[in-house]
Amino acid sequence: MMCQHGYMLFERFRGFLAAVLPAVAATLPIVVAPPASADPCPDIEVIFARGTGADPGLGFVGDALVNSLRSKVGGQSVGTYAVNYPAGWNFDTSAPAGAADASARVQWMADNCPNTKLVLGGMSQGAGVIDLITVDATPPGRFTATPLPPRLADHVAAVAVFGNPLRTMRGGGPLPAMSRTFGPKTIDMCALDDIFCSPGKSLPAHFAYVENGMTDQAADFVAARVR
């Protein structure tokens, strides 16, 4: 008897649910999950190539440049893109790979975020990566330049390089002197006696761009270009 009684109660409860739940559901708002979407295009994007041997990312100079820039551009949003390349000691393959990736990122941003102001930057070998896509012609040495076409160059508001090896190559020099297209948009920072960009022989100077204030100085230059 108890089993039969329990079964009858269960059936009545199931009937109640069948009758009531549709009516309750009809009174509830319909919630639709928003579709997945990419982050909105930033006002500014810094495309930065780290130096030789640095872990993937912007590197310590790139991080410092971006942090300083964010403090100088008011309400403008600043996105970042770390150039995807080996940053290895085989410069013959590493630097061109970085140039290809940086160029592809500029292309992608121009197509998908045409109003974003792009900033190109690099440290040491990373500066060489940026040289390859901004100089007017093939620089001295064994590398072949692949300059950005004018359509893409127009999207670049500023260029900032640090410890640039192009400065010490025979026939080379600071990037602004090597590029008619990007010269007025470019700041090329070389610390006093930096072994890789000056006649000096100081290795510590090559790693002093944050402490010596040059990343902040470069951020001032870039901020004036993107305001």
- Relative to beta strand 186-189, strand 44-49 is unpaired
Q: Is 202 a catalytic residue?
A: no
Instruction: Tell me, yes or no, if 103 is annotated catalytic.
Output: no
Out of 68, 94, 103, 124, pick the active-site residue: 124
Q: Which of 101, 131, 188, 194 is catalytic?
A: 194
Distance, CA of 68 to CA of 62 (rounded, Å) = 10
Region of 150 on the Ramachandran plot (φ > 0 left; ψ -120 to 50 alpha; else beta): alpha
Report d(CA 68, CA 40) in Å as an integer: 22
**Beta carbons of 33 and 184 less than 8 angstroms apart:** no
How many CA atoms lie less than 13 Å away from 212 in the CB half-sphere? 17
Q: Out of 94, 131, 179, 206, pick the active-site residue.
A: 206
Please list the active-site residues: 124, 194, 206
